[in-house]
Amino acid sequence: MRDDAVTGHETAHILLGWYDRHARDLPWRVGPADRARGIRPDPYRVWLSEVMLQQTTVAAVRGYYERFTALWPTVGDLAAADDARVMGEWAGLGYYARARNLLKCARVVAGDLGGRFPDTAEALRDLPGIGPYTAAAIAAIAFDRPETVVDGNVERVMARLFAVETPLPAAKSALRAHAAGLTPKVRPGDYAQAVMDLGATICTPKSPACGICPLRPRCAARATGIAAALPRRSPKTPKPVRRGVVYVARRMDGALLLERRPDSGLLGGMLGWPGSDWGDNPADAPPLEADWRDLPGEVRHTFTHFHLRLAVRAAEVPETSTARRGAFLSAAEFRPSDLPTVMRKVFDLWRDQPSPWGRAET
């Protein structure tokens, strides 16, 4: 026990030393030098970045984080924002329940908590969209709480450091226990980011750079040459193919027919083209009577758990048209960047079609 504690302390110290020399400069990060001067990160920005980073790469998040913080510098600003505006700014980042919960959480913090985030992991955990990882990360980084932060990086680093050969997800509890044994009481925020940085830059999934790893001398998987094979994972279930039909109706004044998707489920709360259900043999479901024509080609898109192939039908309709579903948005009201990626692909396919009405010019 005592030996483990001493070894864990030394491992944490090595990681902190490495982090002091190699910490990446990220927009949401207060680096080790500034932290040593007593500069504390803004909990709102820590929270925003951590939610954006859930299952999402740093490269993808960077631009979104810059735009969100420019538009909404405080949690009060975000809480007061229009839902559609926030969903539109999140478009393309994926996992849209995050954006819906982001607004819910901002409104609880701004409305019920005086604009201040809770300063413990336990209390943070009760907020919408904040789970075990995010609660621990905010508590450690923003509030100096010695919480154990466990994300995919930490699981990978622990699996290798301790040569855990049990496949994920069964290994989760053992990996968490190893991570907890290493977590220091000092500089918990820097430590959490150090392990994640190590996982993101050196202890990478495919070909870990063991040659320059500060933990190389203590890594059990490296010693036996199996680092790259860890962590093992249970076999994944294959993705089925689903099909669907979407309809792009353009009014003569240029307005396009779009609908707000239901608040739950796939792409919940996002703007999209009306269409059929997605399944084996989708039924024709035009949102209004029109002379629909099939566009050549199709839109292919892969979600987490299925492949989608969408047929696209288009029509030009009179200005007096009314639709059974959705609403016509004028060119001034419609920003293609408000669409989730699969719907953006539909727009791109439609826009690139030559048309007898000269649509390509507008």
Partner DNA sequence: AATACGTGGCC
Partner DNA sequence: TGGCCAAGTAT
- Report the site for DNA in 66-105 (rule: CB under 7 A): 91-97, 101
Q: Which of 10, 50, 155, 289 is an active site residue?
A: 50
Structure-token pair, residue 161:
């450091």
CA-nearest of 192, 332, 324, 326 to 254 is 332
**The one among 7, 330, 337, 341 contacting DNA by CB under 7 A:** 341
Interacting stretch for DNA, rule CB under 7 A, among 10-18, 214-222, 234-242, 321-329? 234-242
**The one among 239, 293, 309, 324 contacting DNA by CB under 7 A:** 239
Binding mask 139-158 for DNA (x = CB under 7 A): ------------xxx--x--
Cα–Cα distance list, 83 to 7, 60, 90, 103 (Å): 49, 22, 11, 8
- In degrees rounded to 5, what are phi and psi of residue 247? -125, 125
Put residue 238 in one of left, alpha, beta given phi > 0 → left and psi -120 to 50 → alpha. Answer: beta
CA-nearest of 110, 58, 103, 64 to 83 is 103
**The one among 49, 148, 276, 321 contacting DNA by CB under 7 A:** 49
Nearer residue to DNA within complex by CB, 141 or 315: 141
Secondary structure of residue 1 in the 3-state scheme = coil
Nearer residue to DNA within complex by CB, 110 or 323: 110
Nearer residue to DNA within complex by CB, 57 or 322: 57
Q: Is 188 in the site for DNA (CB under 7 A)?
A: no
Q: Could you say which DSSP state residue 354 is in?
A: -
CA-nearest of 257, 335, 246, 258 to 299 is 246
Q: Is 174 in the site for DNA (CB under 7 A)?
A: no
Shortest distance in whole angstroms from residue 141 CB to DNA: 9
Nearer residue to DNA within complex by CB, 172 or 324: 172
Interacting stretch for DNA, rule CB under 7 A, among 9-17, 52-60, 70-78, 319-327? 52-60
What are the residues whose beta carbons fall under 8 Å from the beta carbon of 254, sequence distance 6 or more?
Answer: 330, 331, 362
Q: Is 55 in the site for DNA (CB under 7 A)?
A: yes
Shortest distance in whole angstroms from residue 77 CB to DNA: 22
| Secondary structure tally for the chain: helices H, strands E | 14, 7
**The one among 63, 262, 265, 279 contacting DNA by CB under 7 A:** 265
- Report the site for DNA in 298-337 (rule: CB under 7 A): 301-305
Binding mask 111-130 for DNA (x = CB under 7 A): -----------------xxx
Put residue 356 in one of left, alpha, beta given phi > 0 → left and psi -120 to 50 → alpha. Answer: alpha
- Counting Cβ atoms within 10 Å, is residue 217 exposed (0-12), middle (13-18) or buried (19+)? exposed
Q: Which residues of 48-65 are buried (b: 16+ CB within 10 A; e: fewer)?
A: bbbbbbbeeebeebeebb
Is 319 one of the catalytic residues? no
**The one among 57, 224, 281, 322 contacting DNA by CB under 7 A:** 57
Q: Is 166 in the site for DNA (CB under 7 A)?
A: no
Q: Which residues of 302-311 are buried (b: 16+ CB within 10 A; e: fewer)?
A: eeeeeebebb
**290 near 249, Cβ under 8 Å?**
yes
Interacting stretch for DNA, rule CB under 7 A, among 30-38, 212-220, 235-243, 283-291? 235-243
Bridge partners (DSSP) listed for residue 96: none
Nearer residue to DNA within complex by CB, 216 or 232: 232
Interacting stretch for DNA, rule CB under 7 A, among 9-17, 233-241, 315-323, 352-360? 233-241
- Counting Cβ atoms within 10 Å, is residue 37 exposed (0-12), middle (13-18) or buried (19+)? exposed
- Catalytic residue ranges: 50
Which residues of the shown chain bind DNA in the complex (CB under 7 A)? Answer: 24, 26, 29, 49-50, 53-60, 91-97, 101, 128-135, 137, 151-153, 156, 169, 193, 196-197, 199-200, 205-206, 233, 236-237, 239, 265-268, 301-305, 340-342
